[in-house]
Amino acid sequence: MRYQAALRSDGVAFKAYGCAAQGEIDRAAKGRISAFNAPFFPVKHCASRAMLRVLKFTTTEETALAGIKTGYLPYPSILTNKDWQKKKGLIGKMKKTGIGSALDKAEAVHKKIDWAYLAVNRENPANMEELKKAIQEVKNYYAKLIVPYQKALTEVADTAEGAIKDVKKMIGGGSVVKAIEAIVKEAKTQRVTLKSFDFEADIKEVAERIERRQQLARVHMNDSLKKFVVGAKAFLSDPTPESWDKHIKQAGRSVSNSVKELEDYNRVFWKDFQKFGGFDLIAMKIDTRSPEFADITTKKVKAAVVQVKEIASFKG
């Protein structure tokens, strides 16, 4: 579904994937505003309209050319002070340019970046609320570390461009000028690349995966609840590790996954239901060899049955 965006004359940006009411859009523009800057959660039906966001864009730094998949961006060797020292020659040594210092600063900022934190799927969001949080975390990380790196690259480019004017006046400075021009070009390329990360594609992919999982969870929810109640009855008559694996583990996991992924159920029940650890004995820290296994698991299952019945009667 094609990405659309519009920027009104008052500077307010609207965006949506296909479903936005056209009355909201004064002037269409495609491909210039990043979903990173205007978080939106694309799904294949017009329920997405409720997710329409309105954000203000204060500078051109907040717009981006979509297209490059987010991921690790290596620091170019040409932007290292070590490389510059090799290329600046006698002319560069005679004339103080400030390029080396700017390069060191940019490289130091780059080393602080953990690129995995730019992925909205880093912690595999289970629902739209978790996706919202993931996008906000990416926004925060971008502002904290990527923006300073962009500024450091701008400083490199500006410093180098300023040096070109002076070096050109010096006899024999041709090769040094070329080296400086290459630094300017690479710094600007890095900066543009950072603005070109395709956050829209990442968000779209995660949102559609969430939608598919939620559709599946809705289909299987009632069946999972019934299977758990039946399995619980069988387990309570024989509370052994083998009985747990046969009657509780899978049925409980299915209910747990559905409650976590379906937002209405998540909001009401997940805070308590997550305490069952997905009905994984290791996650629940229950030792199958413990003489208290039967007592501990019996209490857990009885408590879970109470919640499962509440979930079954929930109307949303």
0.85 cut: is pTM over it? no
| Structure token pair of residue 175 | 């090769």
304 and 271 within one domain: yes
Answer whether residue 136 shows pLDDT above 80: yes
Give pLDDT tens digits for 48-98.
Answer: 323 323 222 222 333 333 456 777 899 999 999 999 999 887 776 777 889
Task: Check residue 228 and give its pLDDT.
Answer: 96
Range of the domain at 21: 1-62
- Buried b / exposed e over 42-58, threshold 16 CB at 10 Å, is bbeeeebeebbeeeeee
Q: What is the mean pLDDT of residues 33-57?
A: 31
Same domain, 239 and 291: yes
Contact 4, 20 (CB under 8 A): yes
User: In sequence order, which residues have a C-beta less than 8 Å from that of residue 206 and are 6 or more positions away?
Assistant: 120, 121, 125, 131, 134
Please tell me the distance from the alpha carbon of residue 191 to that of residue 40, in angstroms, as a whole number: 24
Percentage, residues of the chain above pLDDT 90:
54
Tens of pLDDT, residue by residue over 46-62, are: 333 233 232 222 223 33
Same domain, 104 and 72: yes
What confidence category does residue 224 fall into, taking pLDDT thresholds of 50, 70 and 90? very high
Burial of residue 232 (number of CB atoms within 10 Å: 0-12, 13-18, 19+): buried
Mean pLDDT of the chain: 78
What's the total number of domains in the chain?
Answer: 3
What's the average model confidence in pLDDT over 199-223? 86
Contacts with 230 (C-beta within 8 Å, 6 or more apart), sequence order: none
Residue type present at position 261 = E
Residues 6+ apart with CB under 8 A from 58: 11
Which of 44, 62, 80 terminates a domain? The answer is 62
pLDDT above 70 as % of the chain: 77
